[in-house]
């Protein structure tokens, strides 16, 4: 009987220090397995003297029960602990702040470019594009600017070779489109242009939007209507608009379009050089010579064209006084749009 109590004590000792499920399994085998200590004692019951056999049998059975219950309890505890450990080790700390990527913003030039194109597409104009590396022929010749024409000097050209240039304006798209398509045409051609020029209001690369409309019986009044609607959409419905006679080799008659100075409301200031007006684009009726270069009959078709600088319009719209700010990529400037 003493042996049995020692057995129980040694089980209690061993099981109280076990920390893993595999260790616990070892103990289970040691005591309750086929060759286990308790099993052996039960097998040996018949060799115990008859007087103490009932008490001995009862005690060993109680110890077996006790060991079984203790092992199950311990197993449940260890499983719970192991689960807890796993959950903790796999846990994601959702309180950690995420990595912040500040959202970018559209460049002011692109923003205004999109605004301009969407005003014209809403009037039914289609977008066409032409090459930035252009033939002298499309950039000058076909726009009625022959080799020794003084207008070539106005446009400080980057020459690639004798007959290839970086386009100095988007007007060559007019002839390229007319060569491959027949009227009616309502086109805008946005894009980059290049001139050898740099100061507070000029950069060697800048953006223009060209526009033109060709059909039978297009009149100067159509040009006025389209441009007035455009100007009122982009600068506000009460902006004064003025068509001032001018000259471009590819339009006849030609007009420069001014808006009432948005800084002084026409009273006269530094920006409008005390004239009360700001020039914003060039325009006119397409010169019959250009139609001839494009293979259209000037007797059959007429049309208007216009061209504007996107940087200039953006500078006026947002009161920016130095064009170079657009290309310095200073986020303190760009984030304001
Ligand atoms: N191409 C001219 C320039 O870059 C702008 C221009 C003026 C375009 C009159 C036109 C126009 O289509 O009709 O200065």
DSSP per-residue string spanning 194-238: E-S--BTTB-SEEEEEEEEEEETT--HHHHHHHHHHHHHHHH-TT
Of these ranges, 6-20, 122-136, 142-156, the one predicted with the greatest mean pLDDT is 122-136
In this model, does residue 312 exceed pLDDT 90? yes
By most ligand atoms within 8 Å of CB, the mutation choice from 227, 248, 284, 294 for ligand 1 is: 248
What separation in Å is there between the alpha carbon of 256 and the centre of ligand 1?
9
Determine the pLDDT at residue 170.
98
Say if CB 323 and CB 333 are below 8 A apart. no
Angle of the 2-17 helix axis to the 53-90 helix axis, nearest 10:
0
Say if CB 218 and CB 304 are below 8 A apart. yes
By most ligand atoms within 8 Å of CB, the mutation choice from 125, 154, 169, 253 for ligand 1 is: 169
Cα dihedral angle (80, 85, 86, 92), rounded to 10 degrees?
A: 130
In this model, does residue 185 exceed pLDDT 90? yes
Of 259, 215, 253, residue with least CA distance to 240: 259
In this model, does residue 154 exceed pLDDT 80? no
In this model, does residue 151 exceed pLDDT 90? no
Q: What atom in ligand 1 is closest to the CA of residue 283?
A: 13
Q: Determine the average pLDDT of the residues in 291-313.
A: 98
Determine the pLDDT at residue 146.
92
By most ligand atoms within 8 Å of CB, the mutation choice from 218, 244, 282, 291 for ligand 1 is: 282
The H helix count followed by the E strand count for the chain is: 12, 10
Q: What atom in ligand 1 is closest to the CA of residue 286?
A: 13
In this model, does residue 153 exceed pLDDT 80? no
Determine the pLDDT at residue 44.
87
Q: List residues near ligand 1 (CB under 6 A).
A: 169, 171, 210, 248, 251, 282-284, 305-307
Determine the pLDDT at residue 150.
80
Determine the pLDDT at residue 148.
86
What separation in Å is there between the alpha carbon of 243 and the centre of ligand 1?
14
SS3 content of the chain, % helix, strand, coil (to 5): 45, 20, 35
For residue 266, how many C-alpha atoms fall within 13 Å in the half-sphere facing its CB? 8
By most ligand atoms within 8 Å of CB, the mutation choice from 145, 283, 304, 311 for ligand 1 is: 283
Q: What atom in ligand 1 is closest to the CA of residue 208?
A: 4
Find the angle CA(297)-CA(120)-CA(239) to the nearest 5 degrees: 115
Q: Determine the average pLDDT of the residues in 301-321.
A: 96
Find the angle CA(125)-CA(127)-CA(166) to the nearest 5 degrees: 130
What separation in Å is there between the alpha carbon of 275 and the centre of ligand 1?
22
- Of 170-174, 191-195, 196-200, which gets the smallest average pLDDT? 196-200
Determine the pLDDT at residue 4.
86
Residue nearest to atom 7 of ligand 1 (CA): 282
Q: Return the percentage of the chain with pLDDT > 90, whole number.
A: 82
Find the angle CA(183)-CA(184)-CA(190) to the nearest 5 degrees: 95
* More reliable by pLDDT, 91 or 244: 244
Q: Determine the average pLDDT of the residues in 53-58.
A: 90
Residue linked to tokens 């001032």: 244
pTM: 0.73
Of 231, 228, 192, 184, residue with least CA distance to 210: 192
**Alpha carbon of 205 to those of 111, 226, 280, 290: distances in Å?**
17, 27, 18, 26
Expressed in angstroms, the distance from the first to the final Cα of the chain is 93
Say if CB 124 and CB 152 are below 8 A apart. no
What separation in Å is there between the alpha carbon of 320 and the centre of ligand 1?
23
Average pLDDT, the chain: 94
Q: What atom in ligand 1 is closest to the CA of residue 309?
A: 4
């Amino acid at each position: 009987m003493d042996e049995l109590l020692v057995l129980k004590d040694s089980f209690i000792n061993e099981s109280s220090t076990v920390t893993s499920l595999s260790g616990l399994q070892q103990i289970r085998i040691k005591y309750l397995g086929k060759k286990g200590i308790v099993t052996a004692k039960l097998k040996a019951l018949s060799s115990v003297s008859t007087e103490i056999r009932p008490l001995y049998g009862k005690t060993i059975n109680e110890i077996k029960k006790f060991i079984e219950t203790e092992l199950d309890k311990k197993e449940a505890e260890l499983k719970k602990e192991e689960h807890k450990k796993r959950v903790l080790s796999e846990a994601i700390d959702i309180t950690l702040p995420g990595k912040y990527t500040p959202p970018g913003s559209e460049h002011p030039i692109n923003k205004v470019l999109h605004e301009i194109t969407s005003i014209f597409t809403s009037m039914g104009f289609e977008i066409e594009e032409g090459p930035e590396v252009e033939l002298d022929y499309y950039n000058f010749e076909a726009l009625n600017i022959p080799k020794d024409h003084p207008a070539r000097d106005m446009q400080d050209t980057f020459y690639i070779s004798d007959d290839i240039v970086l386009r100095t304006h988007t007007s060559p798209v007019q002839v390229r489109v007319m060569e491959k398509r027949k009227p009616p045409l309502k086109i805008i051609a946005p894009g980059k242009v290049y001139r050898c020029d740099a100061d507070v209001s000029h950069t060697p690369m800048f953006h223009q939007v060209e526009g033109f409309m060709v059909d039978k019986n297009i009149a100067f009044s159509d040009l006025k209507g389209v441009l007035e609607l455009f100007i009122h959409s982009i600068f506000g419905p009460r902006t004064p608009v003025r068509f001032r006679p001018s000259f471009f080799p590819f339009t006849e008659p030609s007009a420069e379009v001014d808006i009432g100075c948005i800084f002084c409301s026409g009273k006269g200031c530094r920006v409008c050089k005390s004239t009360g007006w700001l020039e914003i684009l060039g325009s006119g009726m397409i010169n019959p010579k250009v139609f001839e270069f494009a293979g259209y009959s000037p007797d059959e078709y007429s049309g208007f064209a216009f061209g504007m600088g996107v940087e200039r319009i953006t500078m006026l719209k947002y009161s920016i006084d130095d064009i170079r700010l657009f290309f310095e990529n200073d986020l303190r400037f760009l984030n304001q749009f």
